[in-house]
A = this chain, B = another copy of it.
Amino acid sequence: MYVNIAVLKETTLGERRLALVPGVISGLMKLGARLHLEAGAAENLGLSEADFPEVSVIADRAELVADADVVLCVQPPALAVVNAMKPGAVLISYIYADAEPTLVKLLIARRITCFAIEKLPRITRAQSMDALSSQAALAGYSAVMLGAMGLARVLPKVTTAAGTIGPSHVLVMGLGVAGLEALATAHRLGAVTIGYDVRPETREQALSLGATFVDTGVDATGKGGYARALSAEEQAKVAKVLTTHIQAADLIITTAAIPGKPSPKLISSAQVAGMKQGAVIVDLAAGGGGNCDDTVPGETTRVGPVTILAPLNVPSMLAEDASKLYAKNLANLLGLMLHDNILTVDLTDEILSACVLTHDGERMNAPALAAPKTA
């Protein structure tokens, strides 16, 4: 007996990642998986069928999905995929249920067991499955590259016989995985780096990466590793301290995203207007509306003295490495369900119970519930 795993070709515009890479094939097969890949799925990675030995490539998507015990993808799948899946099959993907009511309804109707990868709990045992973290690290790196390309000045100090230019000042707001990787990358490149986060425990992490830390005097430690929302008064206090730092920066990278919620506004239009001529903001929280009042999600805009970049799918820019990590995250999650060639979904497992979205015709992980339904 084998567990049939189908991997979809991504069809969302701009999505170049893939939920399977050659490196995870043998591991999954040892657990009893038989792998099936949609034809053309690997083209964005520059890979061909020959790079996926022992994986059967199937051109017809409905046929690929019909026999699958597990379907893997990156972006929420098309409704036709769910319609073609067999009842009781497992789907693992980013879902962001609030934005996909029709999809969620169909998953329930079709009795699909859906694990929403963005719901993975931020506990030690789940770290190796945490696609939000792995993709955020890549986004943090790319944000610095995007910023460097957007600036008409260098990040490092460069000395020539005619004099010295640089270094640029880089302010990173929001020191989660993406923010810390951005700080590390900008520091490596030779920029002067300053980190900011409402959670004071991030101070040590910023310092360890060669950055200084903005101390606003407000503690906003929240649940699950995320920052809590700030009161208006707290926001004003923070904004005042931040204004000087914002206006001294050549490059600002903002990363304060709260999954499923609007991104907090950390930079006002007034603060942007007072920024240095030619400065650049890279807003990694554009998916939730952005951390800056002037952010236009998905666009690059010129606002007064500043250029604001607000790309929506930054990890896809590094599709090869992003796919490697994402596929490994999914393989690790599957490791909780694949035993002795059999797929067992144990919803008493705290990881699975936290990220299961639909199961056996029910919505399992309602947005209002802070704690998982089972467990």
**Residues of A in contact with B (beta carbons under 8 Å apart):** 16, 45-47, 127-130, 133-134, 137-138, 141, 145-146, 148-149, 151-154, 156, 158, 160-163, 165-166, 181, 185, 188-190, 277-278, 305, 317-322, 324-325, 328-329, 332
* Choice from B45, B128, B154, B161 contacting A138 with Cβ under 8 Å: B154
Contact of A317 among B127, B128, B152 (CB under 8 A): B152
Q: How far is the CA of A322 from the CA of B158 in the complex (A)?
A: 11
Name the B residues within 8 Å of A325 (CB-CB).
160, 162-163, 165
Let me know if A153 and B320 touch, CB within 8 A: yes
**Most chain B Cβ neighbours within 10 Å, of A137, A152, A185:** A152
Contact A318 B154 (CB under 8 A): yes
A254 CB to closest chain B CB (Å) equals 20
Q: Report the Cα distance A81→B160, complex, angstroms.
A: 31
Contact A130 B321 (CB under 8 A): no
Expressed in whole angstroms, the Cα–Cα distance for A138 and B151 within the complex equals 13
Indicate if the CB atoms of A149 and B152 lie closer than 8 Å.
no
Known: A153-B318, A277-B47, A320-B278. A162 touches B134 (CB 8 A): yes
Asked if B321 and A165 sit within 8 Å, CB to CB, the answer is: yes
Q: Is the CB of A332 within 8 A of B162?
A: yes
Task: Give complex CA distance A320, B277 in Å.
Answer: 10
List the 7 shortest-distance A-B pairs measured between CB atoms, nearest first: A127-B161, A152-B320, A162-B328, A165-B321, A46-B277, A152-B319, A153-B321
The minimal Cβ–Cβ distance linking A250 to chain B, given in whole angstroms, is 10
Whether A328 and B185, one on each chain, are in contact in the complex, defined by CB atoms closer than 8 angstroms, is no
A149-B149, A165-B325, A320-B278 in contact; A158/B138 too (CB < 8 A)? yes
Asked whether A161 and B130 contact (CB < 8 A) given A16-B152, A149-B145, A156-B188, the answer is yes
CB proximity of A146 to chain B, nearest CB, Å: 7
The smallest beta-carbon distance between A122 and chain B, in angstroms, is 11
- Contact partner of A321 (CB less than 8 A), chosen from B16, B47, B166, is B166
A46, A134, A317 — most chain B CB neighbours (10 Å):
A46
User: In the assembled complex, how far is the CB of residue A227 from the closest CB belonging to chain B, in whole angstroms?
Assistant: 21
Contacts A/B (CB < 8 Å), 8 sampled: A46-B152, A46-B278, A134-B160, A137-B158, A141-B156, A145-B149, A152-B322, A165-B324
**Residues of B contacting A158 with CB < 8 Å?**
137-138, 141, 181, 321
A46 / chain B contacts, CB cutoff of 8 Å: 152, 277-278, 305
CA distance in complex: A149, B16 (Å)? 15
Chain B residues with CB under 8 Å of A148's CB are 145
4 additional contacts (CB under 8 A) given A163-B324, A188-B189: A145-B148, A152-B317, A152-B318, A152-B322
Knowing A162-B128, A162-B329, the reply to whether A152 touches B321 (Cβ < 8 A) is yes
Minimum CB–CB distance from A187 to chain B (whole Å) comes to 9
| Bound-state Cα–Cα, A189 to B191, Å | 11
Minimum Cβ distance to chain B for residue A282 (Å)? 13
CB-defined contacts of A320 to chain B, threshold 8 Å: 152-153, 278
